[in-house]
Structure 1
Amino acid sequence: MRGGGRGDRQATLFQVWGTPPAAAPEEAAAAEEAPLPCPVGFAGGAAGSVWLFPAGAGVEERGYQARAARAALFQNTLLCLPTGLGKTLVAAVVLGNFYRWFPGGKALFLAPTKPLVAQQREACAALMAIPARHMAALTGGTQVADRKEIWQNKRVFFLTPQIMANDLSRGVCPAVKIKCLVIDEAHRALGNHAYCQVVKELCKYTRQFRILALSATPGSDTKAVQQVISNLLISHIELCAEDSPDIQPYTHQRQVEKCVVPLGKELAEVRNAYIKVLETFAGRLIRLQVLSKREIPALTKYQIILARDQFRKNPSRTENSGPKSLLPCGTSLGEEKAQE
């Protein structure tokens, strides 16, 4: 493990969220030199003066990860990295340092599904020296009374945002002790998602906590990204695109191989049954010259809609034309949708 320098000081954790009034230049200079206050329960010297990053033990030191970890310790950070480039390592570093800094505090890792919760717990435990007896994974199967005891006795938690939101609203979780919140797949933090509920509810009890949001795809457009930033109180973004120079030595050229998987016996039987039903109606449309394609298995929904629209424009081209003639067309659309 290696430590960060004393210049990497905490920026906002021990202050209330919001923009403070501007200070005079001389006051600002004095404030810059003054040490940050040590909160109750903080272990060791000036707040955040030393932080640890894993070295050796199979961990490759990458500059962009160390830079992101340092930023995430001292600012609410949205970390955007392509899949497979080490977001979990950065999260483990942040969790491990807050675990060490605050012996009486709680550090949380939120993931949207139970399999991801288990996966992230295993990965973080392997990366940072956190004793297993201090970690816990909470699921919906854990009784409320048991969860309350776990919240009191453990220090690092892995859980889904739904469990976290419920425990906060019930008063089961000691909210004021939470010092670090890691949010996986943070692009989900839109509208009234459980991630948003957790942050809003947590702010009712305390604002002295750090947020690290992880995502490979932060949003489909700038509006969505801004919502994530606002909902998760983000003040800093660490972004590396696939063509970023920092990550080029660690990426590999992708080779896409198309693999066509056959339906299999069971699915093929179901498909053939649908085709027989479709033939009953599409065959009549072909005889009425509404459809011209006789290969029913290749018939698409678009072809049926196009034929229907053309028939409506010129309904007198067949002897049997009329409103009733379109009934098989509507039924064929339903059958085609079922086949899809």
Structure 2
Amino acid sequence: MYSIKDFTPRSYQKEIFETTKSKSTLVCLPTGTGKTINIILLAVHRLNTIKDSKIAVVSPTKPLNAQHLKTFAQQTTIPSEEIALVTGLIKPEARKDLYTKKVIIATPQTLKEDIVNSRFSFKDFSLLAIDEAHRAIGNYAYNFLAERYMQDSISPLILALTASPGGTKTKIEEIKSNLHIWAIEIRTEEDIKEHIQEKKTIWLEVELSPELKQIQSLIKSAFKSRVNDLKKIGFTKPSSLISKRDLLILQQQLRKGLSKKNPSTFYGISLTASLIKIDYALELLETQGLIPLQEFWNKLQQEETKAAKAILKMEEMQSAISMTNSLMGKDIKHPKLYMLRGIIRNELEKNPKAKFIVFANYRNTINEIIDFLKKENSIKPTKLIGQKSGLTQKEQVSTIKDFEDGTYNVMIGTSILEEGLDISTGAKLAIFYDIVPSEIRAIQRKGRVGRTQAGKIIFLVTNNTREQGYKWSAYHKEKTMKKTLQLMQKETQSTLIS
């Protein structure tokens, strides 16, 4: 018989366990409140209850899976030799041998590949635990695994976990359907406030420099000019109210009319493509600075599309590109960089052992931040980025360890830094260098601090830009998500009772 060790489950974890042991369940808990404990409780129960069965735990990255491996080894009596971490870095034949273990911890793509190639079967598995379950949309590998698991397992039970499944009932229902979920268990920060650390939120606004405002004005003028061209073929919305989403919807609608071979449709598609590119340039300038903007201009000049060529012929855009190149030579920085350095410098003066997590959307922005911060002797920055951006999963694990050990005191990351990572000796302060309108990403980001002690979250917002809208968009979506989940939890409870 296996058991848990070195921890006592909290009351809400016990309540959730009572649901999960008999029904496939989607568990939604705030980050840092012990979702992994519910995997352990259920895994031990299933192994003890269903003779000769096995457990599979899947999460999207190796650093996350390495954490699960560590938690199983430290907090259960399951022998470490019966727990296997399986990734695509291990040769297929060697992976087959690992699948004889009691607990398999793996990336979903690896398991999918081995099922397709008949190297792995869910037949003897009594539990499939799916971490970061908000990814179970579209064609993500989780959906394939859940389907095959329900087909092949003799005693199927699924436990799906996330802090943020999505802001709409449609999105949550899609996850439920894809993962064969019957029940929902949600606990908000308010529900379990005695178990979570306080997180102070601060919004700091920066003003673009006069030089950057000049480029901003030129790009906005080009955008307005293209919208006026669009109005000539029937588009009526004012340029100040047009969002990226509006443009993408319009593009889809116009493409549906391509079969009619109407000249205005082709013109409209080209105009819309131009507007999307101009809007992206404006976003880079307002939220990131000159380096990402110059890189965008360089790529645009290499493109052969009609939209790119049309943009480059515009007088305003030619001036914007010329001014970008000129200001690059003068080392003009986005004001967020100075604000960021000041925040870190001040905190380190109060506490030289302080650690910081900085979230940024773009890889070249991360490189610029590191180069800028390295000039301060007290600041030791490093980056955590995905494999596609240049770090192997082994290097990712090593970077996290170096941060925890104090080799670095600032970790700057893209979306990989948002999901699930328990940086145990972690940062008390997280800084959002840019704002994301996604409630899922905002929740994930905020969960990286205040896990074992009170934390602080600072949002850097460029004044009079889209970032102010993004701030409220994520806030309202998160609020809607919690209300929707609570309602769906009640609905599933009443359905199961009846």
Q: What TM-score, normalized to structure 2?
A: 0.44
Contact 1:95–1:107 (8 Å) recurs in 2: yes
**1:73-84 alignment runs, 5 A limit:** 73-84=21-32
Letter in 2 for 1:214: L
Partner residue in 1 for 2:132: 185
Match among 144, 149, 160 for residue 197 of structure 1: 144
Do residues 328 (structure 1) and 273 (structure 2) align?
no
Cα distance in 2 for residues equivalent to 1:324 and 1:157: 52
Q: Counterparts of 2:102 and 2:183 in 1: how far apart (Å)?
A: 26
1:249 and 2:194 aligned: yes
Q: Which runs of 4+ in 1 moved over 4 A?
A: 52-55, 257-260, 310-313, 323-326, 332-340
CA shift for structure 1 position 106: 1.5
The answer (yes or no) to whether the contact 1:99–1:156 under 8 Å persists in 2 is no
Is 2:171 the partner of 1:224?
yes
Residue 75 of structure 2 is aligned to residue 127 of structure 1: yes
Q: Does 1:297 align with 2:212?
A: yes
Please tell me whether the aligned partners of residues 168 and 202 of structure 1 are also in contact (alpha carbons under 8 angstroms): no
**Which amino acid letter does the alignment assign opposite residue 89 of structure 1?**
I
1:147 to 2:85 alignment: no
Match of 2:57 among 90, 103, 109: 109
Summarize deviations over 1:26-76 as a string: whole Å, max 9, x none.
Answer: xxxxxxxxxxxxxxxxx9xxxxxxxx8747x3x244111001112111110
1:175 counterpart SS class: coil
Say which SS state the counterpart of residue 255 (structure 1) adopts: strand
Tell me how far 1:179 sits from its aligned partner. Answer: 1.1
Query: How many equivalent pairs are there?
Result: 245
Query: Residues of 1 paired with 2:141 and 2:226: CA distance?
Result: 50
The two structures, once aligned, show a CA RMSD in angstroms of 3.4
Deviates most, 330-339 or 118-127 = 330-339
Equivalent residue letter for 1:301:
Q
Summarize the Cα distance change of 1:69–1:125 in structure 2 as closer, same or farther, 3 Å threshold. Answer: farther
Q: Secondary structure at the match of 1:234?
A: coil
Alpha-carbon offset, residue 310 of structure 1: 6.9
Instruction: Note the C-alpha offset of 1:141.
Output: 1.3
Percent of pairs identical after alignment? Answer: 27
Which amino acid is 1:69 matched to?
Answer: F
Look up the SS of the partner of 1:137 in the other structure: strand
* Compared CA separation, residues 328 and 133, structure 1 to 2 (3 A): same
Aligned with 2:44 (options 96, 112, 126):
96
Is the CA contact 1:53–1:66 (under 8 Å) kept in the aligned structure 2? no
How far is 1:219 from its partner? 1.3
- Structure 1 unaligned regions, length at least 5: 1-42, 44-51, 261-292, 314-322
TM-score, length-scaled by structure 1:
0.64
| Residue 91 of structure 1: how far off its partner (Å) | 0.7
Residues 275-304 of structure 1 deviation map (CA, whole Å, 9 limit, x = unaligned) = xxxxxxxxxxxxxxxxxx994233353553
Equivalent residue for 1:306?
Answer: 221
Amino acid at match of 1:141: L
Task: State the Cα distance separating 1:127 from its structure 2 match.
Answer: 1.7
- Give the C-alpha shift of residue 163 in structure 1: 0.7
Q: Could you say which structure has the higher helix fraction? A: 2
SS at match of 2:27: strand
- CA shift, 1:254, in A, is 1.2
Shift, 1:227, TM fit: 0.4
Q: How far 1:150 moved relative to its partner?
A: 1.5
Shift of 1:241: 1.3
What does 1:155-194 align with in structure 2 at a 5 Å threshold? 155-194=102-141
* Partner Cα distance (1:325, 1:163) in 2: 44
Are 1:93 and 1:128, in contact at CA under 8 Å, matched by a contact in 2?
A: no
Whole-Å separation in 1 of the counterparts to 2:16 and 2:120: 29
Question: CA 1:128–1:299 in structure 2 vs 1: closer, same or farther (change >3 Å)?
Answer: farther
| 1:71 paired residue among 6, 9, 19 | 19
Deviation at 1:174, TM superposition (A): 2.9
